[in-house]
Structure 1
Amino acid sequence: MSNAPLIIVGAGHAGGRAALTLRDEGYTGRLILIGDEPHLPYERPPLSKALLQGSMDLAGCSLCDSARLTELGIEHIAGHPVSRLEPQHQRLQLADGRWLDYAGLLLATGGRARRLPQAQANVLYLRTHDEALTLRSALRPGTRLVIVGGGFIGLEVAATARGQGCQVCVLEAGPRLAGRVLPPVISDALLALHRAQGVEVRLNVALESIHAGAVQLVDGQRLPCDLVVVGIGMQPNIELAAAAGLDVGQGIRVDAYLRTSAPTVYAAGDVCEFRLGGLYQRQETWRNAEAQGRHAALNLLGRALPFEALPGFWSDQYGWGLQTVGVVTPRVISRALSDDGVLLFYLDAEGYLQGACGWALGNRVAKDIKLCERLIAARVALNEASLAEPDVSLKHLLRG
């Protein structure tokens, strides 16, 4: 099968980045990129912000245009998803019946928005470009919007909708906003910020049903609304891999090289379940899609490089910025920043930095988080008092 192509299943951020990287690295063979959506590969963070606001279009968040794909000789198959995968024969079948052999395969199948059990006419989700356009057309001044889910998608939609003049109510089942990924101090800051911006936030609530003009809560309260947006997480698209007999858990499981249980098949992006700190996990972030897309491409070319990139993510709401890097540990040091911002440092038992989380106005914490990333890599032993002191620069600590 020496003349068989490399194939990427999934034409989102990770898959698109992998295809472009293969060409950047000198691969000149046949290269096929297969996507469920009709669009070219694009980044998802703008969907809940700039694209939803109308300040960006699809071209603005796309990794490349069709002319660039043609120039690079990347065959983009849209509208004919993969229906069957046979890794033992190194081939796959498209929905239109065609079989394609491959020399190497990357599964970057991403995921889909988790749905509520009962479909409702006035319920919208936000995972794709087309869903973002549908939601954008519904956000008008005075629209009564209920958002189910107080994670990042729900909160970013809330911020955008308030900017469009909507009345917004966020319903969160847990005791804190984004409680699964944020420390209490930043969850509390998010809550205060959204309430200050006029968002009604209800914590520890359970949804009973959704009707044409209202949401019914388990406690009997009825919330009138014109529209409901559900942001309760993502369902990874593992069905193709599972049916093919690949090892799956909460995603497609891979080894240190992003290789699945089939030797010529790799996985990357939101669907990829890899080991971090000894435990399997997935990272649903721009940073992970970008890094794993590039890395999987290199290993498809035989580089055999272990994936060791640090996790991290960001969110922007009402002019405030949140950024994280690395991993959370029990030992945390807090540094107060100006204008009620905060920088958190996560240390191991020996005093080495393992992660950091920053919250401040504008892009204030971006520089600090980059310095924290360098501190993690440099393995500099840190003093707790120096970390807590705002007047001690992180550059000074980096110099030891």
Structure 2
Amino acid sequence: MSAPLIIVGAGHAGGRAALTLREEGYDGRLILIGDEPHAPYERPPLSKALLQGSQDLAGCSLCDSARLAELDIEHIAGNAVSRLVPQHQQLQLADGGWLDYAGVLLATGGRARRLPQAQANVLYLRTHDEALALRAQLRPGTRLVIVGGGFIGLEVAATARGLGCAVTVLEAGPRLAGRVLPAVISAALLDLHREQGVDVRLNVTVESIQADAVHLVDGQTLPCDLVVVGIGMQPNIELAAAAGLDVGQGIRVDAHLRTSAANIYAAGDVCEFRLGGLYQRQETWRNAEAQGRHAALNLLGRALPFDAVPGFWSDHYDWGLQTVGVMTPKVVSRALPHGGLLLCYLDTDGYLQGACGWAPGNSVAKDIKLCERLIIAHVPLPSVGLADPAISLKHWLRG
């Protein structure tokens, strides 16, 4: 019997890869190994619909256990991989068992960054079970302090306000989501959350967290019932590093998502790939979906370069944020209906490289889709015309 293909990590990227392998006709032995007890699921609903109680695990799952069994995908749950030995094409499970492999996909994802000290009233949000634990405590009148003004913290803030909680957000930087958003969008996000009753405090540092209060270094004390920490994700690179694979801030791969070891690929949040000549990771739904599918094709010997356009979205109350591509120094601002805004990023030759949109509901989605088409089409755009909302973006696609 030939050795199986093994996917280490049963999250979104790993689950999508497993499903793609079967869709593409791979009928050999296929093993999906995950730390969590659940079948693969998507993470965006954790801070929104699942946290609100309007969706359950089944609603955000890529597939259930019955579907995995139907596809003859062996799902090893709650028994993590403890060791990877590329020289012998073997891996060891936490229970001591060994498995040979013909090829491996590392989709080990990451875990929530933790505060140095453990406190009883501090929660994190990365997994389904953590979302359920948090949901159980979000009751009307709960005084919630969120440490971190990134997307996880802000989406939790929006959900908690909708559930009647009193919410304070603490951000160490000068603006919200400052690493990934332009200043004008950060400012709009700040205004919206404050309009919705969130007490957002910028340029603040936490000194300590007690059972009933958060103490800041400037001497302020914030009474609270619960603290949620959203200070980023720690990629799970330890298995790859111990096996001698090339790692940086993630597991480094080439243009085909291959690691530095033969027959081993990486995908999803843990994957560090080159974009614009620089190594980076993309912690997004879009990236997990695209890389999981792409890595599966290359495990089958396709040797396809990964060149998907990056992007993400985030919903806050009744407003939506969407991005596509990459930001460049040259930016053109385009007004959208009802106070929305589209920022278009051009290179020095006038070709669109990226876009960031902010508008009510999901209305910006059509503009972002058109921008993605313009990026792929490699159409030169005039700055003056691009800034004029009276000229449809479709105009340049037709041209």
Q: Secondary structure at the match of 1:322?
A: strand
Q: Displacement, 1:83?
A: 0.6
Indicate the residue corresponding to 1:392 in structure 2: 391
Distance 1:322 1:85 in 2: 40
Moved more, 385-394 or 228-237: 385-394
Once the two structures are superposed, residues 119-139 of structure 1 have per-residue CA deviations (whole angstroms, 9 ceiling, x without a partner) of 000000000000000000000
Q: Which amino acid counterpart does residue 363 of structure 2 have in structure 1?
A: R
- Matching of residues 127-142 of structure 1 within 5 Å: 127-142=126-141
Distance 1:333 1:72 in 2: 48
Matched, 1:292 2:291: yes
Q: Displacement, 1:67?
A: 1.3
Q: Displacement, 1:163?
A: 0.1
Matched, 1:216 2:215: yes
Unaligned ranges ≥5, structure 2:
none
Distance 1:188 1:339 in 2: 17
Distance 2:391 2:157 in 1: 36
- Matching of residues 349-360 of structure 1 within 5 Å: 349-360=348-359
- Matching of residues 294-333 of structure 1 within 5 Å: 294-333=293-332
Indicate the residue corresponding to 1:40 in structure 2: 39
Once the two structures are superposed, residues 327-368 of structure 1 have per-residue CA deviations (whole angstroms, 9 ceiling, x without a partner) of 000000001112211000000000000000100001111000
Once the two structures are superposed, residues 182-240 of structure 1 have per-residue CA deviations (whole angstroms, 9 ceiling, x without a partner) of 00110000000000000000000000000010000000000000000000000000000
Q: TM-score normalized by structure 1?
A: 0.99
Once the two structures are superposed, residues 305-342 of structure 1 have per-residue CA deviations (whole angstroms, 9 ceiling, x without a partner) of 00000110000010100000000000000011122110
Runs of 4+ aligned structure 1 residues displaced above 6 Å come to: none
Distance 1:24 1:319 in 2: 37
Matched, 1:76 2:94: no
Matched, 1:14 2:10: no
Distance 1:312 1:79 in 2: 31
Q: Which amino acid counterpart does residue 344 of structure 1 have in structure 2?
A: L
Distance 1:346 1:34 in 2: 40
Matched, 1:27 2:26: yes
Indicate the residue corresponding to 1:278 in structure 2: 277
Q: Displacement, 1:290?
A: 0.1
Indicate the residue corresponding to 2:224 in structure 1: 225
CA RMSD of aligned residues (A): 0.6
Q: Secondary structure at the match of 1:41?
A: coil
Distance 1:57 1:392 in 2: 43
Q: Displacement, 1:79?
A: 1.2
Once the two structures are superposed, residues 54-83 of structure 1 have per-residue CA deviations (whole angstroms, 9 ceiling, x without a partner) of 000000000011111111000000011001
Distance 2:64 2:129 in 1: 18
Indicate the residue corresponding to 2:265 in structure 1: 266
Indicate the residue corresponding to 1:195 in structure 2: 194
Indicate the residue corresponding to 1:361 in structure 2: 360
Indicate the residue corresponding to 1:370 in structure 2: 369
Distance 2:78 2:138 in 1: 29
Distance 2:370 2:262 in 1: 38
Once the two structures are superposed, residues 370-394 of structure 1 have per-residue CA deviations (whole angstroms, 9 ceiling, x without a partner) of 0000000111110111110111101
Q: Displacement, 1:51?
A: 0.2
Matched, 1:204 2:171: no
Indicate the residue corresponding to 1:340 in structure 2: 339
Distance 2:304 2:249 in 1: 24
Q: TM-score normalized by structure 2?
A: 1.00
Distance 1:273 1:245 in 2: 16
